[in-house]
Structures are given as structure tokens and as C-alpha cells.
Structure 1
Amino acid sequence: MAIAAPISPEHIAIVKATAPVLKEHGVTITSLFYKNMIGAHPELKNIFSLSNQASGDQPRALAAAVLAYATYVDDLGKLGHLVERIAHKHESLNVQPDQYQIVGKHLIEAVATVLGDACTPDIAEAWTAAYAALAYIFIGRERQLYAAHGDWPGWRRFRIARKEPETAAITSFYLEPEDGAALPAFLPGQYVSIQLFVPQLGHMQPRQYSLSEAPRPDYYRISVKREDGAGAGLPGLISNILHADYHVGDTLELSAPAGEFFIDPNADAEQPVVLISAGVGLTPMISIVNSATAAAAAGGPKRRISWIHGAHTAAARAFAGRVREAAAQGTLLNTTLFVTEPAAGDAQGAEYDVAGRIDLAKVDREAALFLGDARAEYYVCGPYAFMKDVEAWLVRAGVAEDRVHLEVFGTGDQ
């Protein structure tokens, strides 16, 4: 299957006409696609998250993405944000152009198998052309992203220099490059991919983790919550392995920082920022706060930041001391802390501000949400359903959708 850019009006018409069929059979098609492709190319197990495969999230997400493409194949500008998010993810996983050939072959074959006689030669031809056009877009964008990290191709070995518990469930890993070379700066909010060998699987598995510190030339920090893995039926994968089996002095592999969820700490000082996070979703936010406060201390713009965060308990909230310290430095940072179940000794105004889950109706619309300022940008990180609920609330409150940014690592936001 040749990778080429053009797609004819006739092919566009067929792709759009078959979108309802994809909506009906999409997950069946993509489930068969992953099964057949990974069966034929087991080396791709090193790229795809087994947890997302086992839960069915990956096939559902691909089905939604393919449907979105079919719907807007004649107006791809509406998919720009989705393309950018996926391209960054691909870059972080070191996806290469020749792998698009493999994906295309098995995807079209899965369409033909599931649809049977309904997949006419014209439909197969149109979808082959449509896939080739989309692959062309991704390959071009990913080539640009790789070029930006030209001195860091693929995976790079890092040593765990420090390992510090932040809470009972969250541990920070301070990672220094094994080659000793200075690390490139990243944009606050971005992530790195790590890959580990999983003995019980017999191959590598990748995961993305937000960088939880302001950029530094000597180390990166990730802060990982220990997950039980029960949802995938595979307890012990990645987060538990990191917590239990990786110690100071051990090495792991990282890809270069990536992701379209970030702020520019040197942006217009008059543009306020609202951070809204839940649970371990605070990790990119602490990078943003640390970067913004460092920029302000160095004479850069003093952007107003409001951080609304929710945790199950005050004890489960990582970096509480750092957040209080940053908030005490002046008017740059304003915090609103929700705690679902305050402990008996927790003081309102100290360990928490509001009891219960995050409810934006309970915070000040101007001091905490800047709803009257059309320049305000909103960054949301946490469970997917939480993020979509926050996004919907903000849009109902009059915030333009393009000013609301969600950090989606896995398979949502299609």
C-alpha cells in the first residue's frame, strides 16, 4: 500500500457515505484488526499497551477515531487537535513510517472481513486511499517532531538517582541520563514515555507519565501512582513494577518529552491560567506551577494561576507542602483544595478548603475561575469522565471550547 497524500472527491464521497457502517461495526473491525496485526507482528506488542487491549479501550478508541476521520474527511481542520495529540503519542512511542504500511494492510483487511460482500471494490479502494492520505499527514507531522529532538532518537537510558514517596500511593522517580549529557528543556505539562521489560509478558511495555518538575538540565522527574491493575486483569504491570522492583541505581528507557498539553511560562502576563485536577492528575500541574513561579522569580511574566484540585483525603494529596509554599509567595497562585473525606484532624482552610468532590459551582467564578476574562486558559487533568464533566461545565459557563485543554494519555477524547 503506497503512502500518498491525495484523495479524490469520489473517494471522499464513498468514505463519508460508509461512516454509518463504521459506527455500527467499528469496534468489531478494530478488535479484529489489533488481533490480526499483533498476531502477524508480535514485535508491535512493545508499542501497544496490553492493559488497553485487554480492557477493550484501545479498539473502542480507534473505532471512534476512524469514525471521526470518515465524518470529517472533507474538513480535516476539525480534527487538527486529535491529529496533534496522536502524533505526539506516536513520537513518544518511536512509531516509524514503515509501520503505517503494516497498520494500513491489516486495517483494510479487517474492514473487508467484517463487512464481507458489503465491502465492494470501490469501498475498499476509497478506504485504502483515505488511510494513505491520513498516514501521509501523520508521517509528515511526526517527522517534524522527531527533527525537534534530532539528538535524541528513539529510546535513551536513564538511571534512577532518587526515589521518594510523596504519599502512600505516589512515588517520585528522579531520572538522570546515563550518558551524562544535558537534557533538553520541555514545555511544562508535557510527558515522557518509559518502557520496561515485563517478565510475565516476555516483552517490553510502554507507559506515559507527566514530568512533575520544572525543566532542568540534569534530571527529569516523574511521579507515579501505584495502580492495582485489576481493570486489565493483570495486576503488577508498570506502576507496581516501578514501585516494587525499580530502585536507586537501576536503569530504564525514556523517549524525549512530548505532548500537546502544556503552557508557555513566558506567555502574556495578562493571560490567567486555571488548573483543574483530580488525584494523580496533579503531576503536570506541579510542573506548570513550578515553571511559572520560577519564570516570575527570574523576572519573567507573573501570570495569575488558579489551581483547583480534588483528592480523596488530604493525606493522599502529593506535593501539598510545595503547593502551600508556592501559594504563600504572593498573589501568583491561588488554590482551592477539595477533599472528599476530610479526616477528623483536618482543618478547613489548611488541609482543605471545601469538603466533597470537585464542584466548580462552589468556587468563586472570578477569583478562582476567571470566567469574566476571555483570555483565560483552562488545563484539566484527571480521570477521563471527570475531565469531560469539567469541560462541559466550563462550556456551559461561557468558556470557548478551544480554551479548555484536557490531558488524555490513553484512549479517550476521540
Structure 2
Amino acid sequence: MLSETSTATVRATLPAVGAAVGDIADLFYRKLFDAHPKLLRDLFNRGNQASGTQRQALAGSIAAFATQLVEHPDTRPDVMLGRIANKHASLGVTAPQYEIVHTHLFAAIAEVLGDAVTPEAAAAWDEVYWLMANALIAIEERLYAQQGVAAGDVWHEWTVDSRTEDTPDVASFRISPADGAPAPAFRAGQYVSVQVELPDGARQIRQYSLTGSPSSALRSFSVKRVRGGDGPEGEVSTHLHAHLRAGDRLRVSAPYGDLVLDGTDAPLLLASAGIGCTPFLSMLEHLAAQGHTSPVTVVHGDRSPAAHALRADHLALTGKLADATAHFWYGTPEPGRPAHGTHRTGQVDLSGLTVAPGTRAYLCGPLPFMRAVRTQLLGKGVAAADIHYEVFGPDLWLAQD
């Protein structure tokens, strides 16, 4: 909890900091990477830095955390903190790195805000930072302990056992530990980080959801190639598509992620778009293995049936459940198939679907898709606390609220 004195100071300075937090984040990253270029080369996503999305996510999380401290001092945004901590754990972030961030973040604050950063303001925002940092450090330590690894020691060598071309833009890889040891356990919906060495020597990292059953001895993940268009071409996804083959070695982290099933018997709704279906394939396998009997509504939106990665698995796994229905929407319909029933044309629209009371919803896909589905679910009476989401890349949800 923020001290009483700091609460008053943060409340008074929050408008100014909030208005400048984007500039502060931008300057912070420039200072950080000037001092520690290896962090940009080997830890941070260079694509997200180039597009500015990582800056937006940082700004949004800081503003949201500070606002929570002053407006709801008796609660903590644990959902947001948990999502960040899981991502950090999958990257191998350790406590000393928070000192590095603190140094460059507060240098950026002082430079952007100038004389507005009084000693009282600096002390108050220092308290905000360490409340957030220490909460993340504590969560990350628990996550490392749960995996039985030392802090940051999450990386292991894996062997690619097979590669499958699912669509022209999606390839799936089945992998196993290179040393023959058992694969680390994971929960349905979690992801791993994959690190690759690029031609310029950078070791870039991306996260990919595990798609197989948690009970399987092998692990599998799918990679959608990010083509240039509205943004830069995905350098890691392009590299994996071009170079990763059966027999190759790969550095993969322990599994992390907080979009997981909690063992409930409640009705479920799993809504995805594009490659966002991948965590739900693992969930569907898990539900079938557990004999889940409550209603499960599977919703997916994609450009076309041909672009729908793992579509046959999506349908087959839904069919294994006692009370489950699949509803797919495509921008371009499949030739010869009526645009009704399981397959529809257009954007995902839940208006014609029955959502059972007490439904828990899980969303994964582009942010506009998830926002639209969340709005529809709220309109159907689903509690906000029962709607959970995962994003691939920086979490811009809070940044755009």
C-alpha cells in the first residue's frame, strides 16, 4: 500500500505524469538500450520496439498501477501483475534487472518533466515503482520455484522431432528435450519462449502457446509467419519458417502463462481469432481428458477456412466433449459450403448464441477482436471477472483504456 504522504503526491502529479508517460517510456528505452545494447539484441523484442507497442504497454501498465494505488488503495491489480510476471519469467528476468530499469526510468522522468519533479514527487513515484517492482519480483520468484529452477534459469535445449505445414503461413513443430529428460509439466493454455540466433548475431525471443495435451510426453507449438504489410515483417517467425527443420536444436524456456483453466465445472466459452486459437486447442484436449460435461462454446474468427490454422483439430477436439459446439466466422466463405451453421461469413457475432449463466470466458486474438467479444459477453450477462484474455506481444489493453 502506498504511504499516505505519497498517495497525496501521486494523486496530484498523476495527470502530469500520465500525460507525459508515453514520452517518458520512449526516452527510458533509448537510455536503457544506449547503456545496455545487449538487452535490445538478446532480450527485448526489436519489432515491438520499432513499432512503439512496447512503449505503449509500459506506459499503460505504469499509469494503471499508479491509478489503482490512489483510487483503490486496499486492492492490488494482481491480474495485470500476474500477466507481466509470467511473461518476465518466460524471458528469464531477474531481480537485479529492476535496478537497471529504475536507474534509466527515473532519469527519463527527470528529463521529461524537469522542474516538476520535486524531491517529494520523486520520492512518491519511487515508492510507486518499487511497490510494483517488488510485487513482480515476488510473483516471479514463486513462478521460478514452481518450475523448480533458479531465478532466470529457464532455458534448455530441445530437438525438433517434426514439422507440419498447417497453412501457407502457419507451421507446427513437435519438440522434445535434447537431453532425453522428461518435458517440464505445463497447464493447458500456457506458452513457452523460443530463442533463435538471427543472421546479425542477435538472440531474439518470442512466445508461442503449447498446443498439445499436458499429459503428452512431447510438446508442440505453432508459428504464424508475420508478413510485412501494416507493420514490419516478423524476423523470428520468418526465420523459423525458413530454417527450422526436423533434427534441429532450439532453445526453449520453461512454460508460463496465466490464461489457464482453474478446474471449474462452469460452462466455458473459448473465443479466438487467427493464431489465437492455439492455447484453446490444449484446453480442449485437457477438458476432454478430464471428462468435462458442462457446456463449452467454441468461437473463432479468421480470414478464410484455408487460413484457419489447425482447423481440423479445432473441430475434432470440440467434438470430443459431451456438450460442446463450434462456431466459426470467416471473412471469405469456403466454396460450396453454406454460410450458416458451424461456418458463418463476416465478423464474430455472439448475438445469436446462447451463453449459459455462470459462463467463464477465455479470449485470445487481436485486441480489437477481444474488446468486441468482451463487450458482447458483458451484454449477455457474463461477469467482467469471468472474462480472461491473452495477447501475443505487448499487452496494449490497459494502454488504450
TM-score in terms of structure 1 length: 0.90
How big is the shift at 1:76? 6.5
- Once residues 160 and 52 of structure 2 are traced to their aligned partners in structure 1, the CA distance between those partners, rounded to angstroms, is 33
**Cα deviation 1:142-201 (Å, max 9, x = unaligned):** 11100011147321111111000111211111111111111122111111111111223x
Measured against aligned partners, the alpha-carbon deviations of 1:95-123 in whole angstroms (never above 9, x if no partner) come to: 00000000011111100000111111221
SS at match of 2:235: coil
Match of 2:346 in 1: 356
SS of the aligned residue for 1:342 comes to coil
Q: Does 1:377 align with 2:363?
A: no
Report if aligned partners of 1:184, 1:217 keep a CA contact under 8 Å in 2: no
Distance 1:76 1:198 in 2: 46
1:345 aligns with 2:336: yes
| Distance in 1 separating the partners of 2:392 and 2:314 | 24
Structure 1 residues 76 and 250: alpha-carbon distance in aligned structure 2, compared to 1, 3 A threshold:
farther
2:317 counterpart residue number: 326
Structure 1 residue aligned with 2:241: 243
Q: Does 1:44 align with 2:39?
A: yes
Matching of residues 14-413 of structure 1 within 5 Å? 14-45=9-40, 46-74=42-70, 75=73, 77-151=75-149, 153-200=153-200, 202-233=201-232, 235-264=233-262, 267-269=263-265, 271-296=266-291, 301-329=292-320, 331-348=322-339, 352-361=342-351, 363-365=352-354, 369-370=355-356, 373-374=357-358, 376-411=359-394, 412-413=396-397
- Deviations 1:287-322 (CA, angstroms, capped at 9, x unpaired): 1111111222xxxx4343110111211111222222
Aligned-partner Cα distance in 1 for 2:55–2:104: 13
1:66-86 Cα offsets, whole Å, 9 max, x none, are 111221224262511101100
CA shift for structure 1 position 384 = 1.0
Residue-pair matches, total: 392
| Contact 1:149 1:256 (C-alpha < 8 Å) held by counterparts | yes
Kept after mapping to 2: 8 A contact 1:193/1:254: yes
- TM-aligned CA distance change 1:229 to 1:78, over 3 Å: farther
* Corresponding position of 1:3: none
Question: Which deviates more, 110-119 or 63-72?
Answer: 63-72
| C-alpha displacement of 1:13 | 1.7
Partners of 2:209 and 2:389 in 1: CA distance: 13
Equivalent residue letter for 1:358? V
Structure 1 Cα separation of the partners of residues 258 and 280 of structure 2: 14
Q: Structure 2: which amino acid aligns with 1:188?
A: A
Task: Name the CA distance, whole Å, in 2 between partners of 1:389 and 1:229.
Answer: 25
Offset from partner CA, 1:178-225 (integer Å, 9 cap, x none) = 11111122111111111111223x311111111111114532111111
> Residues 169 and 136 (structure 1 numbering): CA distance in 2 closer, same or farther, change over 3 Å?
same
Tell me the distance in 2 between the aligned counterparts of 1:329 and 1:214.
13
Q: Residue 272 of structure 2: SS of its match in structure 1?
A: strand
1:129 to partner: Cα distance: 2.2
2:47 touches 2:234 (CA, 8 Å); kept in 1? Answer: no
Structure 2: gaps of 5 or more residues:
none
* 1:286 partner letter: L
The CA distance in 2 between the partners of 1:231 and 1:125, in whole Å, is 42
Query: What amino acid does structure 2 have at the position aligned with 1:71?
Result: T
